[in-house]
């Protein structure tokens, strides 16, 4: 695969027999033993993902927090040191540049994790709009592993002296795992408990091997992009480029909860979004299931009252539910739970129903976060 980059874990993927595909400029594993095996492992036990393709941008200096605050939709002033916050970057017209996670090491040191496909675009946006702080692209300085699933705590605890029970959801701590320093964050993209581990590139392979070995008794297996996509779809987590992009705004995408329109000082795109909210949304990103045979795929046409209205943004046969599920933008008149529409599957209109999301809910007594 010419001109594709490789993560520090490329050799581990080859050794594990992964099927490698181009993704966001990288040669990445889409699956190892199979999507269903890997999906179920994460839901029932644990899976280990290489997410080193993600980008890291660092904002530092005495004015770092207020400088970044102006660019993000969420309110960083509400965070404390050691806290991560999900947010978005918007254009002046309210279109979404990217969805991001900001890790606050201090008010003067903020690590921003961005989508791999948007790394260059995001850095250019920061460079052109960030004022009063220092900016650095540290994407090549980090590798990132995601350990996800109900057994994640038990596995990681074997390799660290850090008290994992003190790291709550969307919190992080610096510490050693398998004798190597890293950021241990209780974040993820699967709907399961777990951790994202930020380490030096040279430490990625030893860390991967240590986790795989420690996880064998717990049933840990490597998991690829295929399972990552089906897991996040079951949770109705947005994927940039599918469910959100520069033509969608966070309010219609269901990201109003990370869009603080009244925060002090505002943010780029905030004025437009306040006007959008006042005028009322024209469409909304919903979750649906097919009520006939078929699998909704990304890009399939959506039909509302027999007329075309966009496309399926994400869709799959849910491994956890054994149901065909998907996401799409619908006019508000059809966005309520129970409303009917159709998905055009190769020229055949298939009935679909708007349903409550997330599609999948973890058992209430399972792997609760302390």
For residue 47, which of 193, 223, 218 has the smallest C-alpha distance? Answer: 223
Return the CATH number at 124: 3.30.70.1400
For residue 166, which of 366, 362, 365, 369 has the smallest C-alpha distance? Answer: 369
Of 268 and 369, the structure prediction assigns the larger pLDDT to: 268
Distance, in Å, from the CA atom of 205 to the CA atom of 92, rounded to the nearest integer, reads 42
Domains: count for the chain: 3
309 plus 354 within the same structural domain? yes
Of 343 and 365, the structure prediction assigns the larger pLDDT to: 343
Helix (H, G, I), strand (E, B) or coil at 80: coil
Place of tokens 């045979």: 293
362 plus 332 within the same structural domain? yes
pLDDT over 50 at 366, yes or no: no
Return the CATH number at 344: 2.40.30.110
300 plus 339 within the same structural domain? yes
Residue 256 in domain: no
309 plus 366 within the same structural domain? yes
Distance from CA of residue 313 to its chain's centroid?
Answer: 15
Residue 277 in domain: no
For residue 181, which of 195, 164, 153, 161 has the smallest C-alpha distance? Answer: 161
* DSSP secondary structure of 186-224: ---SSSSSEEEEEE-HHHHHHHHHHHHHHHGGGT-EE--
Residue 269 in domain: no
End residue of a domain, out of 112, 140, 168 = 140
Q: Kindly state the average pLDDT of the residues 294-299.
A: 98
End residue of a domain, out of 115, 140, 165 = 140
Q: 347: domain range?
A: 282-370
Residue 266 in domain: no
Distance, in Å, from the CA atom of 214 to the CA atom of 45, rounded to the nearest integer, reads 13
32 plus 177 within the same structural domain? yes
End residue of a domain, out of 172, 205, 233 = 233
pLDDT over 60 at 162, yes or no: yes
Return the CATH number at 221: 3.30.1360.120
pLDDT over 50 at 354, yes or no: yes
- The set of residues, in sequence order, having a beta carbon less than 8 Å from that of 189 and lying 6+ positions away, is 146, 148, 228, 231, 232, 237
pLDDT over 70 at 365, yes or no: no
The rounded mean pLDDT for the chain is 96
Residue 264 in domain: no
For β-strands 55-60 and 19-23, DSSP reports them as unpaired
The predicted structure's pLDDT at residue 56: 98
Distance, in Å, from the CA atom of 367 to the CA atom of 194, rounded to the nearest integer, reads 10
pLDDT over 60 at 4, yes or no: yes
133 plus 179 within the same structural domain? no
pLDDT over 70 at 181, yes or no: yes
Burial of 5 (0-12, 13-18, 19+ CB in 10 A): middle
The predicted structure's pLDDT at residue 1: 54
Residue 369 — very low, low, confident or very high, per pLDDT cuts 50/70/90?
Answer: very low
Summarize pLDDT for 5-43 with one digit per residue, the tens. Answer: 999 999 999 999 999 999 999 999 999 999 999 999 999
For residue 335, which of 276, 299, 293, 282 has the smallest C-alpha distance? Answer: 282
Of 367 and 194, the structure prediction assigns the larger pLDDT to: 194
Phi-psi region of 179 (alpha: psi -120 to 50; beta: other; left: phi over 0): left
Of 319 and 370, the structure prediction assigns the larger pLDDT to: 319
Q: Kindly state the average pLDDT of the residues 347-352.
A: 97
162 plus 229 within the same structural domain? yes
Query: pLDDT over 90 for what percent of the chain?
Result: 97
Place of tokens 């840990």: 220
Based on its alpha-carbon atoms, the radius of gyration of the chain, rounded to whole angstroms, reads: 21
Q: Kindly state the average pLDDT of the residues 181-188.
A: 98
For residue 99, which of 293, 232, 212 has the smallest C-alpha distance? Answer: 232
23 plus 158 within the same structural domain? yes
Residue 364 — very low, low, confident or very high, per pLDDT cuts 50/70/90?
Answer: low
Distance, in Å, from the CA atom of 37 to the CA atom of 11, rounded to the nearest integer, reads 22
For residue 153, which of 37, 46, 228, 227 has the smallest C-alpha distance? Answer: 46
78 plus 224 within the same structural domain? no
Residue 354 in domain: yes
123 plus 95 within the same structural domain? yes
Summarize pLDDT for 81-134 with one digit per residue, the tens. Answer: 999 999 999 999 999 999 999 999 999 999 999 999 999 999 999 999 999 999
153 plus 93 within the same structural domain? no
224 plus 366 within the same structural domain? no
């Amino acid at each position: 695969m010419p001109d594709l980059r490789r993560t520090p874990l490329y050799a581990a993927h080859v050794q594990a027999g992964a099927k490698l595909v181009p993704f966001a400029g990288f040669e990445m594993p889409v699956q190892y033993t199979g999507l269903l095996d890997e999906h179920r492992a994460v839901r029932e036990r644990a899976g280990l993902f290489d997410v080193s393709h993600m980008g890291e941008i660092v904002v530092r200096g005495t004015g770092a927090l207020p400088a970044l605050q102006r660019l993000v939709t969420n309110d960083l002033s509400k965070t404390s040191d050691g806290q991560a916050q999900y947010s978005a970057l918007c254009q002046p017209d309210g279109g979404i540049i990217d969805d991001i996670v900001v890790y606050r090491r201090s008010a003067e040191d903020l690590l921003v994790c961005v989508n791999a496909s948007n790394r260059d675009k995001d850095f250019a946006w920061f460079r052109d709009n960030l004022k009063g702080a220092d900016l650095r692209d540290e994407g090549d300085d980090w590798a990132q592993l995601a350990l996800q699933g109900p057994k994640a705590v038990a596995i990681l605890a074997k390799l660290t002296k850090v008290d994992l029970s003190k790291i709550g959801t969307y919190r992080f701590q610096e510490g050693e795992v398998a004798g190597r320093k890293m950021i241990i964050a209780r974040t993820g993209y699967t709907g399961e408990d777990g951790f994202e581990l930020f380490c030096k590139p040279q430490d990625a392979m030893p860390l991967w091997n240590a986790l795989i070995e420690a996880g064998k008794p717990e049933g840990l297996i490597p998991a690829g992009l295929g399972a990552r996509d089906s897991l996040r779809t079951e949770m109705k987590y947005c994927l940039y480029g599918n469910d959100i992009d520069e033509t969608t705004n966070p309010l219609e995408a269901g990201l109003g909860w990370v869009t603080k329109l009244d925060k002090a000082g505002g943010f780029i795109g905030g004025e437009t979004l306040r006007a959008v909210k006042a005028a009322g949304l024209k469409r909304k990103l919903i979750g649906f299931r097919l009520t006939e045979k078929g699998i909704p795929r990304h890009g399939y046409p959506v039909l509302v009252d027999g007329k075309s209205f966009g496309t399926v943004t994400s869709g799959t046969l849910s491994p956890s539910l054994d149901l065909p599920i998907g996401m799409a933008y619908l006019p508000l008149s059809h966005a309520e739970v129970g409303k009917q529409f159709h998905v055009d599957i190769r020229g055949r209109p298939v009935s679909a129903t708007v349903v409550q999301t997330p599609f999948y809910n973890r058992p209430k007594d399972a792997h609760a976060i302390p």
